[in-house]
Structure 1
Amino acid sequence: MVNIIRPRVELVLTWGSEELIAAMTDVVYRAYAIEDAMRRVREKPELVVRRITSFLRDGHHSVLEFMGASWLIEGSRAFTHEVIRHRVASYWQESQRYVDYTKGQLRYVLPPALASQWSNYLDSASQTYVRAREGFAPEDARYLLPNAMASRIWAQMNAREFFLNFIPLRTGLGAFHEIRLIAWLMFDTLVDKFPITARWVWENLPRLHPDYCRGVEKLSPTYGTSDCRVISIKDAFEKWGMEVPKKLSEFIK
């Protein structure tokens, strides 16, 4: 039986914080001690909101490189070929050269519409790989695996790359639906970690990439809205038969 799974995203860790960046403004420019600056922003949370919003609005984005996150992602090889194009990031990916998939790890990532009609093909591909392994090493037998083959990848990005490049590019309506789904799942994991940045980016998404709303006219009647962000989320999650996560759903109410 073919093992078909859905894309998965798990937050591994985050570093830095909006609070720390706001505090370091006093440290770098006003010679405060770090402890005193941190105490100040904790006593005045509105100061954090004002400073982070100002950095985002005025284009002082380099400070966002002092915070970021890493995720364990499982998606198709079609997805991983796209995500690694984002070079201001770090990746550690499952190797088809060294993993022996005859030991029960053959799994595929496929949208439900395709899975319902083509699972027999994937079963055949699995059997072909297993037979090939009788005479060939994993590094040679991997040539026979399809793009639907699941692959785990550990990805790490700073907040500037993630929020201001990756998210505007990969959640736009012209993006491949699997990477769009995964980008939203990644975004969902950071809503509570970097709330000021996440909210500002959400509110400004359509203007952060010139092609963000590509084809919105065709999709608007289907989803009853012309909001490209809402369409992007609903379309991606519907294609994969998945529910919109709770935190992300709050943005589209």
Structure 2
Amino acid sequence: MRVIEPSYEILHFPESHEMLRLLELAGRVCYKSEDRISQGSAEEFIGRIVARGHESVIEHANASVRFICDRGVTHELVRHRLAAYSQESTRYANYAKEKFGNEITVIRPFFWEEDDRRYVLWREAMEAAEKAYLGLIEAGAKAQEARSVLPNSLKTEIVMTANLREWRHVFRLRCDTASHPQMRQSMLPVLADFHRRLPVLFSDLWERFGGGSAEIPA
């Protein structure tokens, strides 16, 4: 059994200069102020309309992120309906095969130290799930049948594509302290990355949830 940390990869993020030009043009159609477009006007305009809550304009740009996390996190993530998802399938991924190392991979729950009794109990449960899964496969079960014993901590990969307005909505909910700790663990670094790439659209959220630090709260 492998125990790993969650991670992410930005697969697609719009080039900021061209994207801001597009958003400015789209937004100025609303006010018929295209004549005010000038060198450097896009960032100020977009910042102003987002501050006003006119976020429909930023739906014209999309970003795609690949998450490696546990299945418990993805169960919550896919509840965001205004997005497209492609996820590793436990129906077709047979973890008893050589390509998966003949083992399951799980995401470590960061809120327990390895010498904590709760972590020890969690690890024992994961090992028992792996033993049951591999035993079912050996007994002739198909992957889609054996998956019934796989845990929420099972590592999975999911690609999420959403427009930038929806990403702002996701960050508002999933970076908040009321969100599940492992969801925040996955989302806060992505928000930090989005903020670095496009501060005009994400600085307010980073200031609210990141506090200027990429450290993940326990």
Alignment TM-score > 0.5, same fold: yes
Q: After superposing the two structures, state which structure 1 stretch, 60-69 or 22-31, moved more.
A: 22-31
Change beyond 3 A, Cα 1:57–1:27: closer
2:59 aligned to 56, 65, 72, which one?
65
**In structure 2, distance between residues paired with 1:231 and 1:27:** 35
Secondary structure in structure 2 of the residue aligned to 1:192: helix
Which structure shows the higher helix fraction? 1
Q: After superposing the two structures, state which structure 1 stretch, 118-127 or 165-174, moved more.
A: 118-127
For the pair 1:176 / 2:175, whether they are aligned, the reply is no
**In structure 1, distance between residues paired with 2:156 and 2:54:** 36
Contact 2:27 2:57 in 1 (8 A): no
**In structure 1, distance between residues paired with 2:213 and 2:180:** 11
RMSD of the TM alignment (CA)? Answer: 2.5
**In structure 2, distance between residues paired with 1:59 and 1:31:** 20
Q: Which residue of 1 aligns with 2:22?
A: 20
In structure 1, stretches of 5+ residues that fail to align are: 206-227, 240-253
2:80 aligned to 82, 86, 93, which one?
86
TM-score by length of structure 1 reads 0.72
Q: Which residue of 2 aligns with 1:248?
A: none
Identity of aligned pairs, percent? 26
TM-score by length of structure 2 reads 0.83
Which of the pair has the greater relative contact order for Cα pairs under 8 Å at 6+ separation?
A: 2
**Count of residues in Structure 1 that have an aligned counterpart in Structure 2:** 203
Q: Deviations over 1:109-133 (max 9, x none)?
A: 1214265413233222112111101
Q: Which residue of 1 aligns with 2:171?
A: 167
Partner AA of 2:20 in structure 1: E
**In structure 2, distance between residues paired with 1:142 and 1:157:** 29
Contact 1:18 1:194 in 2 (8 A): no
Q: Which residue of 1 aligns with 2:152?
A: 147
Q: Deviations over 1:8-62 (max 9, x none)?
A: 1110002362233124445673566xxxx5xx3xx3x2x2232112111222111
